[in-house]
Amino acid sequence: MRGCHLSSCLFLLFTLPAVALRAQPSAPPLQILDTLEHYRTALPADAWNRRSAWKALEEDDTSHAFQGDGVVVNERIALVFRKDGAGAELHSIGALPVLRAVLAPQLQNGRLTEFVVATNSADEIAIEATFASASGKSSVRFELQPGQPFVKANAVLGADSLRIEASCRYGLLPDFFAADIVLDARELSADRVELPSENFFLHMSGRGEAIVAAIWDQREKEMEIALSGSGDARAVQASSIPFGKSSSVYVGVLEAPGIWHEHSVARTDKGRVIPLGWHTPFPAHWRMDWRQKEGMNDSWDMLVERNDGEFDKPDWFGQADSFGNSDWNQGGRKRWTTVLGLFLYPCWIDRNGEACIQPLKKPGDFEGTVIAYPVNRTPATPLTVFTFVDLVRATLGVGPCQYVLDVEGQQKKSAGRPTCATRALLDEIYTAKQQLDRKAEVEQALDDVLAFMHHIRGRIEDYAEFSRRLQEYLREQKKARPELATFLDSLVTTSKRIDEAIAKRNESIGTREYAGQLVDEFRSSLVGYEGSDAQDRCKKITAGFVEIGGNQDELVGECRLAVRILRQQAALAMASDPRVTEIAQEVRRRTHAMLRNPTSYEAPRH
């Protein structure tokens, strides 16, 4: 069975060695403690310094009557239950625990009134916490395991969603099919914003030292974020994640100095090499989200410079970056894709671990905040380190992880031999006058190039059908919801970019029949032919292959770009107008389906 592949090809997460709690090296890997006194606020540093005086519960003790507050702790995180507190207080563990988030059911002015031990074993500790407000009561079960940097939450009674209070300026919705959605609280005027409920939300916390990650396995209801403050103090105060039917919400903490980084790019920075003065805290697959015009984002995987000065790009799901496209990788940071053509890759980590950027000159719309974070692991990532995808795998498990990340749908597809490579091969054979000796090779090349042209052409036809059906749906919605005309028209305009790109290149790519005719002409007139004009005739037909292939390659990339933009447009519209939610979700469902199984020439990850 194909696993949810990380670059190292190993399922490391459940065997990661524990990191000892520095202040208590002899402490068990998982324990529950009674502080023996109640604290009116989050536990201060001096309280943690006195924890050797707290009472540690014996394993299997589930009837303990707490004299003070309850603390569940493993090697990475601690969860504190204070009576009359706003929620279960999630701390990361360093030299001293640091409060990172407060977890509670979505109750207005709810307070924690009771907590009991449901499970107390070496493998798991579970606490059932009850919260009350003027509107009623709710109960949530919180579970911790040894060595894991996350807590699992399940609704027990009356809890519709989990509120994760973790104040931050930036919230991030990771998207593995297109670009991440980065939300800047200073740009959102509403105090409550509904967002696509697509399994992940990241609070980019502190000043780059922590990420509070919410992960869940249902998409029945939309998530929300609550915002407060104004001006520079404007912040995403909390996210609310629906529990769904019999589903769990996981809240994890990724922590290290500089585990995420932000930098502001000015218009005048285009083409400039800019060292960021930020060194990545550990080797990993780092992702950078660039701000573009109209609030859009573009996500790029950061290259890693080798000691010899060349650059590697981390693999996604076991596929090399150049899979199916030998033209992609050039020397140094030079890269080539359809749409962008030849360019210098804009973000990398140098051999000293410092991050650098060089904003693209063309199309040149990188401007504003860029954010980098560790999305995945590489073979060089320390076993004790968690990245975002590590959290997804550790929380959801292999099967659900495969489904949520849609591993099969992420894989690039390739068929046959690209037209440029076919031209190079056939021209070389006929120039060397080896067409008789290498006849079988010529025949195979013709089969392969036809398969390649048909493969890309099929994908283009799928994009055309996607655009037709989407515009039909949007027109129907406009009749039913005329008050949303501006939003719907903007989606139609973006969808028409597919139609316009196809119309522009329609003559150059010809028809399927025309491609077949070119191959048949070569096969019938040139296979085995040794006339003095064989080389010229060969080059004429192979030039025809390249004209078809080159235009098809460009076109399929242009089509994918339009669908990626549609996907972001829909999500960003939800953040500003809750009325569009149902339509936006349908657009995102359709774009997800269309972006699956890309050809390599679509450059699905640049």
Confidence band, pLDDT 50/70/90 cuts, at residue 362: confident
End-to-end CA distance of the chain: 28
Task: Mark whether 34 and 139 lie in a shared domain.
Answer: yes
Q: Please give the structure tokens belonging to residue 538.
A: 């060969």
Confidence band, pLDDT 50/70/90 cuts, at residue 409: low
Asked if the structure places residue 405 within a domain, the reply is no
Mean predicted confidence (pLDDT) in 478-489: 97
Q: How far apart are CA 530 and CA 518, in angstroms?
A: 19
Query: Which of residues 384, 411, 446 is at a domain's end?
Result: 384
Task: Mark whether 508 and 577 lie in a shared domain.
Answer: yes
Residue among 325, 324, 11 nearest 2 (CA): 11
Task: Mark whether 149 and 40 lie in a shared domain.
Answer: yes
Q: Is the pLDDT of residue 404 over 60?
A: yes
Number of neighbouring beta carbons within 10 Å of residue 319: 16
Asked if the structure places residue 389 within a domain, the reply is no
Task: Mark whether 88 and 159 lie in a shared domain.
Answer: yes
Task: Mark whether 248 and 278 lie in a shared domain.
Answer: no
Task: Mark whether 233 and 292 lie in a shared domain.
Answer: no
- Rounded to 10 degrees, the C-alpha dihedral 163/168/169/174 comes to -70
Asked if the structure places residue 223 within a domain, the reply is yes
DSSP letter at 7 equals T
- CATH code at 178? 2.70.98
pLDDT in tens, 547-563: 999 999 999 999 999 99
Burial code (b: 16+ CB inside 10 Å, e: under 16) for 61-90 equals: eeeeebebbbbbbbbbbbbbbbbebbbbbb
Task: Mark whether 151 and 53 lie in a shared domain.
Answer: yes
Q: Please give the structure tokens belonging to residue 408.
A: 């099969």
Which three-class secondary structure state does DSSP give residue 306?
coil
Asked if the structure places residue 6 within a domain, the reply is no
Asked if the structure places residue 8 within a domain, the reply is no
> Which residue, chain included where needed, has tokens 């202040």?
23
Number of neighbouring beta carbons within 10 Å of residue 476: 11
Q: Which range marks the domain in which residue 527 is found?
A: 419-602
Residue among 164, 128, 153 nearest 247 (CA): 153
Task: Mark whether 62 and 209 lie in a shared domain.
Answer: yes
Asked if the structure places residue 399 within a domain, the reply is no
Task: Mark whether 249 and 267 lie in a shared domain.
Answer: no
Average pLDDT, the chain: 90
CB 73 within 8 A of CB 21: yes
Q: Is the pLDDT of residue 363 over 50?
A: yes
Query: Which of residues 255, 281, 309 is at a domain's end?
Result: 255
Mean predicted confidence (pLDDT) in 478-494: 97
Asked if the structure places residue 565 within a domain, the reply is yes
Query: Which of residues 200, 225, 255 is at a domain's end?
Result: 255
Which three-class secondary structure state does DSSP give residue 560?
helix
If one counts the domains in the chain, the total is: 3
Asked if the structure places residue 135 within a domain, the reply is yes
List phi, psi (to 5°) of 14.
-90, 5
Q: Strand 347-349 and strand 303-305: pairing? A: parallel
Residue 270, Cα to own-chain centre: how many angstroms? Answer: 25
Residue among 588, 385, 569, 583 nearest 493 (CA): 569
Q: Please give the structure tokens belonging to residue 526.
A: 């040139």
Task: Mark whether 99 and 81 lie in a shared domain.
Answer: yes
In sequence order, the β-bridge partners of residue 104 are 163
Task: Mark whether 505 and 541 lie in a shared domain.
Answer: yes
Task: Mark whether 199 and 310 lie in a shared domain.
Answer: no
Q: How far apart are CA 441 and CA 527, in angstroms?
A: 10
pLDDT in tens, 282-309: 999 999 999 987 788 999 999 999 999 9
Q: Please give the structure tokens belonging to residue 309.
A: 């000065």
- Rounded to 10 degrees, the C-alpha dihedral 14/15/16/18 comes to 100
